[in-house]
Structure 1
Amino acid sequence: MSESAYNYTHIVVGAGSAGCVVAARIAENLDNRVLLIEAGPDQDALDSTCSPSRIRNSRRVPMRGQSEFFDPKIDWDLQVHMPGYLQGASTTMRVPQAKLLGGGSSINGGTALRNTQNDSREWVEMGNDAWDFESVHDVYQVLEADHVRGTHGPHPIQRAVPRELGSIQAAFLKGAVEVGFKEVIDFNETGTEGAGPSPVCRVGDQRVSAADTFIYPRRHWKTLSIMIGATVDRVSFSRSSSNNDNINRATGVILADGRSVEATVEVIISAGAVLSPAILQRSGIGPEDLLRQHNISPIVHLPVGHNLSDHPCIPIVAKPRVGSYSDKDYSVQCQARWSSSMLPGAIDHQLVCFSYLYVHARDPKMAPQRTISGAATGHVAGIGCNLNKPTSSGTTFIQSRDPNVLPKVTMDYLGTAADQASARELVRTGYGVIRSAAMQSVLETPLGIEDSTIASNDDLDKFCQAHVTSTYHFSSSCQMASREKGGVVDQSGRVYGTTGLRVCDASIIPTVPASNNMWTTMMFAERIGRSVRDEKDVGREQSGM
C-alpha cells in the first residue's frame, strides 16, 4: 500500500535533535516538499501522566527517575549490554532514548557545548577537511541565541546566574575553585578550561527542544508535512547501471505496517546513533555477515553499527545534608572541564555536579542508573566524572528483521588500558572536589569510595568498573570518514555505494566529541540541512561539501 499520493521530494526519518533541524532547513526551499517521519508522539498531544508541562520543565530530567521519561509512549526501553565486568555486577543497563517530536532534546539536560579544536583536528584526519574548526565555528554562530556570546540565531542558550544556583551547585563551584580550578563563565570560548555554569537550551525554567525552535513555528508551511507515530522499517531502492557501475538509488521508505512512501530526490535517516544503523542494516547496508545472518540481501558492505561511542560516567555520590536541597532546585547546573595529562589540549575530562540522582528504584524503568554501593533507595547527589574522549567503543546491530525489535547495543566501557588510566586520573580529581570543605558542608561522606580506594590503582579500577554508566551520549556508529578509513558516509552525509540516501544525526560524527553530543549534532544538521536546501542538481552524485 502506497502513501505517495503526495509528491515528496525529501523524506527525513526521525524528528530528533538532528531531524527537526534538517527537515526545517530543507523545507525553506519552496521547490521542496519534505516529509518528516517520527515514531513517537507530538509532545503537545500527551496525556496527564506524561504532560507537555512536565516534559518542558527543565528541572525534570531522566536522572531524577521521574516516570514520564520512561513512559513507553515516549521512550524506546533500550537495554545496553556490558560484557566483561566484575563478578556480580550488572551486565545490562536501562538507558533512556526519547521517542517523541524533538527526540532527546525534548527530555535531556539541554547542554549546549561546542566541540573542541582537537575534535575538529581528528575529523579532518579522518578525511573530512570541510569540517575544520573554523568552518564549524561559523555554523554554531548561526544556531545560537546566546547573550553571553552576542549571537542572534534561533535557538536560545542560557546559563545559571548565582542567584539561581541551588546550594549543592554553588558548593560545587566553590569546591572546584578550592582544589585549583579557575572559575569561568563561557565554556564555548575556544580552549576554555575551568569550573562554571553549563550553557543550556532553555528560557527560564522551560526546556527548548529542536522541535520548539525548528518544527512548531513551521507546521503550517506547505513545504513541510509531519507523520507522527510511524516506525520506519527500511529504505526502498531502485537499481540501475551507468558506465558499467550498479547504482543503488534510494526511492523512499517502507513503514513497519507495510505502507510505502516515495521521495523523488533524497531520503535522510536521522533516527539517532542507535536506530539509524538498524534502519540501514534492514535495508541491506551494513556488515555482510550480519545481514546474511538475518537473510537480508546485502546492497552495500559497510561497517554500519560499529564504532558506537558514548561518554562513560563514573558517579561519586553522597546523601545531601538536611536543608541542602529543595525540590525546586535544578538537577544539573554546573560543571568543570579540563585536559587530562594523557591528552593535553583535548579538554577530555568533565565533572558534572548533580543535585538529584534517583538510585535503587524498585521499578527499574524509573532508574537507568546502575547500583551505587551503599546507597539506599532514593535521593543522592554528587559528581558525574565523565570521560569524554574514550578509546573504547561498542556496537549496535539488529537482532531481527522485525523493525519493532530493538537492536542489540553492546558497550565496552573502560575496555582499554588507556581509558582505565584516564578514568583513574578523572575520578581522583572528582573525589578531591567532593571532599572539599565547600561540598562537605552540603553533602555527607561519599558512598562506596574512600581515601584508601583513591590511593590504590587496583581498588580504584574496581570502583570505576563497578560503577561506570552511560551519559546517553551515543555517537559515531555511521562514521563520517573516507571509505578507506572505515567511513559509512562522506562529508555531506551521503551513504557510500548509494545515491539519494544520507544519514544526518549523531551517528555520523567522525569521532566522539569532548562535549555533550546534542549541540554538535544540531551543528551537523544545520550545516547539512542548509547544503541540501541549496542544492539545485537533483542528480545527487557523491561529492564533498
Structure 2
Amino acid sequence: MGALRRPLGALPLRLLVALLVLLAAAAAAPTAAAARRDADIVLVGGGTAGCALAARLCAALPSRRVVLLERGPPRNGTEEFLVRSPRQALASWALPSLLEAFPTAAEPSLGGRRIRLMVGASLGGGSAVNIGQWTVPLDGTVGRWGVDGLDEAAARRHYRRAARQVGVAVPRRGLWQQYADDWLAAAERAGLPSVSEAGWPQPDRGAWVHRLTVDAAGRRRDACSAYVTPALGGACAHNLRVVQGVAVTKVLWDDDRAAGGAPRRPAAGGRRRVTGVAYVMSTDRDAARPRVRSLRARLAVISTAGAVGSPALLQRSGIGPPAVLRRAGVPPRVDLPVGEQFATRPLVGVTHSYAGGTARLAVENNGSVVASAAARRAWEAGRGGVLGVAAFAGLGRVPDGDGGYVSATFTVDPAPGDRRFRTYCMTNTASSGQLAVVDGSPFTPPTVITNLLGGGAAEVTTMLSCLRRVAAVGDAFAPRFAMRQTEPEPGRPLDEAYVRDLAGSSAHFVGGAPVGAVLDGRLRVRGFHNLYVVDSSAIPSIPPSAGTMASVYMLAEHMAGRLARVFRPVGA
C-alpha cells in the first residue's frame, strides 16, 4: 500500500493498473463477511458522489467507521484499461460490467418510441465511463436548488476543490482531437466565438476545447482513482472499507406503520431513525431466493446510488407513491413523491462527411492506429498518444430559445475509418417524467418514462434552433474538408419530425429524489432523522447548459463538510 502514496500520474501505466486491480481485490473484496461488520456511516453506491463523499468523510472523521457499498465487482485488467483510456470510453459502454443500459417504457412524446438509458455499473460510476467533460452550469443555478448553505459563492469553492482533486484541465495540445482547431474556426465563422469557460461568469454563447478529467499522460481520473484510492492508501486506511459485489435491497428502520397498514406522510417534528441496510450478493442476481444479509449503521445511511439507483432504493424500502409501490409488491410505508420528477436532457445530432475533401482521416478515428501495439505502448509509457485523446473534440453553448450546449466529435458515431463529423445538441428542458420500481429486486431495472421533449412547442423549437446552428458550423469548415451534410440526409428537412424521430437521452439524469419534494435542505429524506441522499437525484432540475458530473462532485464536497460537522464526536 505504501506505493500508493506516490502521485498516481507518476506511476508506469502497467503498475498503476496492477495496483488499482489489487487494491480493489484486497480492500473491496465482494464477501459477505466484509460487509457484515457494523459501521457508523454506510454509503450505498460507489459512483461519483459515493467515492468523493466517502473519502472526504473518512478523512474528516478518523474515529468513525465508514463503509462504502458498491454493486459492481472489482474490475479486471481489461476493464481497467477501458476505463483509463479516454479514447476507449465508447468501448467501455459495450461491457455490462462497466455500464448498465436499459430501455424506457414507450414514450408518448416520441410517438411511442423507446429510448436507451445508461448508468455506470462499477466503482466510480458514471465518472469511470463518461466522456470526461467538465462543465459548470450557468451562473445563478445552484443557489436555486434549496440546499442549506449552498449559495453561488460556496458552490464555486466546491467546484474548484473538486476540480483540483480530480485534476481537471484542458488537455495538452498532443491530446486534442486532430481537427479541434478547424472546428473552433468553423464555429467562429458560424457565429460561435472561441471562449474560455474555466472561470466565472460562465459564457452562454461560444465554443471551446473542453476541460477533462484526464491527466497529462492521457489517463482518466475517475472518482475512484481521484478520491478512494488515495484515501485507502493513506489517511483512511484504518476507517474506510469499500465492499464491492453487494446489492442493497432496502434501507432498514423501526416499523412505523399507521393503523391498518396505511402509509404515513412524514409528520413535522416526528422523524424515523434508520438502523442499516439489507443486501444480497451481486453474484446471486439469478438466484430464485438469494440470501438476504444486513449491515448496521450506527449514525446514518447515505444513498449515493445515483440518479436511477437512489430513487429505486427508496421505493424498494417502502418510500414513495403508494400506488407505485403496491404495483411493485412493495408495502408502502412513507408517502413521498419519489421518482415523480425524474428528468433527463434531450440529445439530437447532425452529421457531416469530409470524405470528398483533401483532409486526411482524423487519426483518432483511424482504427488501425487506435488498435496498434505502438499506440498501446505509448499510452502505457505515459506519453498519451491516440489512446489518450478524448472521444469528443470540444463543447459549445448556444443561447437560442431556452439555450443548450453542444458537443462535437470526429469519432463517436462513425465506424473507424469513416470521414465523418458529428455534433450533438443537448438543450435545456423543464420537462420531467417518472421512475417506478417493478419489484423489490435491486437487479430489475425500473420502469422509466422520460417525457423527453414533452414540455411543449418551445422545447422542439429550441432544439431545432440549436441543430440549425451546428449544421451551419459543419458547413463553415475550410474548403479542404469539402463538408457535406449527411444527416438529415438530402431531401429530409430539419424539422420537428426529425427531432422526435432521433431524440435520445444525454445520460444526464436528475430529480428522482429532489430537494424540496423528497429531501429537506440538509438532503435528508423527509420524515427521517438520519437517511440522506447525496447524488444527482437530489438535484431538482437539469443544470442549464452543462452536464451533471461537475455538479455531483461539487454537491458531494459541500455535503462532506456539513455532514462531518454533524457526525463529529463531541469534543473532537
TM > 0.5 between the two?
yes
Across the aligned residues of Structure 1 and Structure 2, the Cα RMSD in angstroms comes to 2.8
Corresponding residue for residue 376 of structure 2:
none
Corresponding residue for residue 367 of structure 1:
none
Q: Structure 2, unaligned stretches of length 5 or more?
A: 1-31, 258-265, 281-290, 365-385
State how far apart, in whole Å, the 2-side matches of 1:530 and 1:461 are: 46
Q: Which amino acid aligns with 1:249?
A: R
Corresponding residue for residue 117 of structure 2:
95
- CA deviation string 1:493-519 (max 9, x = no partner): 100011210000000012110211001
Corresponding residue for residue 287 of structure 2:
none
- CA deviation string 1:422-442 (max 9, x = no partner): 112111111111111338816
Corresponding residue for residue 556 of structure 2:
525
Corresponding residue for residue 490 of structure 1:
520
State how far apart, in whole Å, the 1-side matches of 2:129 and 2:267 are: 49
Write out aligned runs for 1:77-116 (5 A).
Answer: 77-84=101-108, 91-116=113-138
Give the secondary structure class of the aligned counterpart of 1:297: coil
Return closer, same or farther for 1:536/1:86 CA change in 2, 3 Å cut-off. closer
- CA deviation string 1:250-305 (max 9, x = no partner): 11110034010010000000111111111100101111111122332222211111
Q: Among 338, 361, 385, which residue is 1:324 paired with?
A: 361
Return closer, same or farther for 1:110/1:451 CA change in 2, 3 Å cut-off. same
Q: Which amino acid aligns with 2:395?
A: Q
Corresponding residue for residue 42 of structure 1:
74
Corresponding residue for residue 412 of structure 1:
451
Give the secondary structure class of the aligned counterpart of 2:208: strand
The answer to whether 1:264 aligns with 2:304 is: no
Q: Is the 8 A contact 2:392 2:412 kept in 1?
A: no
Q: Is the 8 A contact 1:330 1:355 kept in 2?
A: no
The answer to whether 1:168 aligns with 2:179 is: yes
Q: Which amino acid aligns with 1:412?
A: N
State how far apart, in whole Å, the 1-side matches of 2:279 and 2:482 are: 52
Q: Which amino acid aligns with 1:337?
A: R
The answer to whether 1:136 aligns with 2:178 is: no
State how far apart, in whole Å, the 2-side matches of 1:253 and 1:423 are: 43
Return closer, same or farther for 1:187/1:245 CA change in 2, 3 Å cut-off. closer
Corresponding residue for residue 307 of structure 2:
273
Q: Is the 8 A contact 2:103 2:114 kept in 1?
A: yes
What percentage of residue pairs aligned between the two structures are identical? Answer: 23
Q: Which amino acid aligns with 1:184?
A: V
Aligned pair count reads: 487
Higher helix share: 2
Return closer, same or farther for 1:116/1:451 CA change in 2, 3 Å cut-off. farther
Corresponding residue for residue 211 of structure 1:
224
- CA deviation string 1:102-127 (max 9, x = no partner): 1111111111112222323532xxx4
- CA deviation string 1:339-378 (max 9, x = no partner): 23x44xxxx321210111237x9xxxxxxxxxxxxxx997
State how far apart, in whole Å, the 2-side matches of 1:528 and 1:190 are: 24
The answer to which of 202-211 and 315-324 deviates more is 315-324
Return closer, same or farther for 1:296/1:165 CA change in 2, 3 Å cut-off. closer
Q: Is the 8 A contact 1:168 1:442 kept in 2?
A: no
Return closer, same or farther for 1:274/1:134 CA change in 2, 3 Å cut-off. same
Q: Which amino acid aligns with 2:485?
A: T
Q: Which amino acid aligns with 2:62?
A: L
Return closer, same or farther for 1:538/1:80 CA change in 2, 3 Å cut-off. farther
State how far apart, in whole Å, the 2-side matches of 1:81 and 1:169 are: 38
Return closer, same or farther for 1:244/1:353 CA change in 2, 3 Å cut-off. closer
Q: Among 314, 334, 340, which residue is 1:306 paired with?
A: 340
Q: Among 490, 503, 506, which residue is 1:471 paired with?
A: 506
State how far apart, in whole Å, the 2-side matches of 1:330 and 1:4 are: 37
Write out aligned runs for 1:28-67 (5 A).
Answer: 28=59, 29-43=61-75, 46-48=76-78, 50=79, 52-62=80-90, 66=91
The answer to whether 1:432 aligns with 2:472 is: yes
Q: Is the 8 A contact 1:358 1:377 kept in 2?
A: no
The answer to which of 275-284 and 301-310 deviates more is 301-310
Q: Is the 8 A contact 1:3 1:259 kept in 2?
A: no
Q: Is the 8 A contact 2:512 2:537 kept in 1?
A: yes
Q: Is the 8 A contact 1:157 1:202 kept in 2?
A: yes
Return closer, same or farther for 1:243/1:491 CA change in 2, 3 Å cut-off. closer
- CA deviation string 1:6-51 (max 9, x = no partner): 33100000010000011111111112100100001233xx143x3x
The answer to whether 1:252 aligns with 2:276 is: yes
TM-score, normalising length from structure 2?
0.79
Corresponding residue for residue 354 of structure 1:
409
Corresponding residue for residue 74 of structure 1:
98
Residue 170 (structure 1) shift: 2.4
The answer to whether 1:453 aligns with 2:477 is: no
Q: Among 388, 396, 416, which residue is 1:336 paired with?
A: 396
Give the secondary structure class of the aligned counterpart of 2:563: helix
Return closer, same or farther for 1:440/1:188 CA change in 2, 3 Å cut-off. farther
Corresponding residue for residue 228 of structure 1:
244
State how far apart, in whole Å, the 2-side matches of 1:303 and 1:320 are: 49
Residue 132 (structure 1) shift: 2.2
Corresponding residue for residue 198 of structure 1:
210
State how far apart, in whole Å, the 2-side matches of 1:244 and 1:479 are: 19
Corresponding residue for residue 285 of structure 1:
319
Q: Is the 8 A contact 1:160 1:333 kept in 2?
A: no
Residue 181 (structure 1) shift: 1.9
Return closer, same or farther for 1:354/1:4 CA change in 2, 3 Å cut-off. closer
Return closer, same or farther for 1:134/1:232 CA change in 2, 3 Å cut-off. same
Q: Which amino acid aligns with 1:332?
A: F
Give the secondary structure class of the aligned counterpart of 2:508: coil
State how far apart, in whole Å, the 2-side matches of 1:264 and 1:526 are: 23
Q: Is the 8 A contact 1:274 1:409 kept in 2?
A: no
Q: Is the 8 A contact 1:168 1:324 kept in 2?
A: no
Return closer, same or farther for 1:378/1:85 CA change in 2, 3 Å cut-off. farther
Q: Is the 8 A contact 1:85 1:466 kept in 2?
A: no
Segments of 4+ in structure 1 off by > 6 A?
A: 1-4, 240-245, 376-379
State how far apart, in whole Å, the 2-side matches of 1:183 and 1:86 are: 34
